[in-house]
Amino acid sequence: MSLRLLRLSRVSNVVRRSYTTSRNHPMFIDIAVNLSDPQFQGIYHGKQGHESDFNAVLERAKEQKLTKILVTGTDLSETKESVKICNDFHCDYLELYCTGGIHPCSALAEYNAQTGGKQKATEAEGDYDINAIGSRIQDLLEVARSNPKTLLALGEFGLDYDRLHFSPEKIQKLFFEQQLKLFAESGLDLPLFLHSRAAHKDFCDMLYPYLKAGKFPRGGVVHSFTGTLDELQDHVKMGLYIGINGCSLKTKENLDVAKEIPLELLLLETDAPWCEIRPSHESHKLLQGHKLPYESKKKEKFVENSMIKGRCEPANIVLVAKVMAELKGVPLEELTKVVYENSLKFLNLEK
């Protein structure tokens, strides 16, 4: 038996045991959900569009056999809020966990919040106080230390040169560099939850030395991956997991790249409320009519228990899995089993 087959069969054995308890239905872990987003309270662009359906969203997640959701923390206050959402939620079949980090797009706002400054991205001077950045990150690490059972990954952090209008390159780099440094020194045994957009070279130049030096033994995931085949291969060589959602599967090129992700490094996510699979996406064809058993309404026409058109939610992970199974040419159940096991390993959870 090849090493790969051996590994796959071992994976299947472990997962099969837990499957029997859930009538052989594939189970899912969504590793990226922005549950603190106001859209899940029915609020769009600051206006109440419909009543909060937060509980209904999680109910549908449960019905679709999600057993765990990783809520994304993208700045200090959102990380605190994510911890609270997770700790307040109690359910026998669905567990909520979260990440804690400072997203590159939030870097300037976080700096302003820390220093009481009012710099706008267009007029940021580029002269930043490293100590202020360090204090912000230490506050974040304190949240992580106080919530070891809830906060399971460090991030979201990284670089995003597609959205410099939120944070200029220089401050993005400072926050990325300082988070890498202080996370590595923190002694926290957690994986990294990474974001890289249009910044591959800088991202790798800054991150890889830490990985090569063994500073992050739990590795990490490059979530919402949309890069090229070469970029994918760089990450694969470093043993990083690749997180795939609807945004990773928009174009023919995206699909050609996603197909090459080794199964043992694949993680699935929705990035809800963003990144749903749309009819205009190349991936939509691969769904072959596969859809969720819920009515979908425009937000203005919301009725109880309807999904909202254009708002992604964790239950949609079923569709991402379907597309990936088609791309990889493996049965949906087999793909979800392997990915489920990968997700447990990534989060350092036993079951």
Residue 40 CB, nearest approach to Zn ion (Å)? 17
CB of residue 205 to Zn ion, shortest distance in Å: 20
Where in 78-226 does DSSP place strands (E)? 95-100, 151-160, 192-197, 220-222
Which residue number, 261 or 338, has a Cβ lying nearer to Zn ion?
261
Say whether residue 281 binds Zn ion (CB under 5 A): no
Handedness of CA 314, 318, 319, 320 (dihedral sign): positive
Q: Which stretch binds Zn ion (CB under 5 A): 42-50, 193-201, 243-251, 333-341?
A: 193-201
Nearer to Zn ion, 64 or 248 (CB): 248
Pull the structure tokens for residue 318: 């079923």
Q: How many CB atoms lie within 10 A of CB 306?
A: 17
Instruction: Rule CB under 5 A: say whether 197 interacts with Zn ion.
Output: no
State which residue has the least CB distance to Zn ion: 195
Smallest distance from the beta carbon of 105 to Zn ion, in angstroms?
9
268 sits in which H/E element: strand 266-268
Residues 109-168 binding Zn ion (CB under 5 A) are none
Residues 296, 298: Cα–Cα separation, whole Å: 7
Quick note: the x/- pattern for Zn ion over 211-250, rule CB under 5 A, is: -------------x--------------------------
- Tell whether omega for the bond before 156 is within 30 degrees of 0, i.e. cis: yes
Task: Tell me the torsion sign for CA atoms 304, 23, 241, 232.
Answer: negative
Q: Is 221 left (phi over 0), alpha (psi -120 to 50) or beta?
A: beta
Q: Which stretch binds Zn ion (CB under 5 A): 128-136, 188-196, 207-215, 313-321?
A: 188-196
Stretch that binds Zn ion, among 12-20, 22-30, 91-99, 189-197 (CB under 5 A): 189-197
**Options 65, 195, 235, 322; binder of Zn ion; rule CB under 5 A:** 195
Interaction site with Zn ion (CB under 5 A): 195, 224
